[in-house]
Amino acid sequence: MFPRFRRVTSTSPSADPMTAARRRTLVSALILLVIGLHAVPVVYRAERGTLWPFMQWGMYKNSRPAGPVQVQQRRILALTASGARDTVTPRLLGLSVTVLEQRYLRPMMTGDTTVAPRLIERLNRDREDPFVELRLESETYTVTDTGLARRPNPEVTYRAGAPPR
């Protein structure tokens, strides 16, 4: 598959309308452009998230102080009047996981009651069997000396047109 390599001339000058020097210049410009474009999202902050595939690479940059390692796992369940239930996923909602987290999950976790009606309205677009209730479930996992401890948190229920309980 990888035979002995031979050094040969790539093409004869007469067959190639572009000289090697000119091609080198053009490719060099392309190389500089591709590398240079990576500086734009760093310098031009307003567009730092919208220049894909030229991006800022500051992933997982947040730290946490020394102390117990705790994380929360949370999900929203949606129930219809007939009792059918579904987990609210980005796919069900037609939004990205980041937007689901930022616009719905986090505010609901902090007790923002204005979010649930909006979420129900969005979920029920074009649905024949509409959702009437949302349940916010979560549990806290803590790293302990003896392993991983799981503690369920109180469930919060939102009914369409009623205050949360």
Q: What does the binding site for another protein look like in residue numbers (CB under 8 A)?
A: 2-11, 20, 23-24, 27-28, 30-31, 34-35, 38, 42, 47, 49-67, 69-71, 73, 91, 93-99, 102, 125, 141, 143, 147-148
Residue with Cβ nearer another protein (129 or 139)? 139
Tokens of 111: 């007790």
User: CB 117 → another protein: shortest distance, Å?
Assistant: 18
Nearest C-alpha neighbor of 82 from the set 136, 131, 134: 131
* Cα–Cα distance, 78 to 64 (Å, whole number): 33
Where are any strands of DSSP class E within the chain? 70-80, 85-87, 131-144, 147-152, 156-159
Q: Which is nearer to another protein, 92 or 159 (CB)?
A: 92
Please, which residue, 60 or 83, has the CB nearer to another protein?
60
Residues 130 and 120: their CA atoms lie apart, in Å, by 8
Residue 54 CB, nearest approach to another protein (Å): 8
Residues 75 and 128 sit within 8 Å (Cβ to Cβ): no
Name the minimum Å distance from CB 165 to another protein: 27
At 80, give phi and psi (nearest 5°): -95, 170
Q: Find the shortest distance in angstroms from Cβ 81 to another protein.
A: 22
> Nearer to another protein by C-beta: 72 or 113?
72
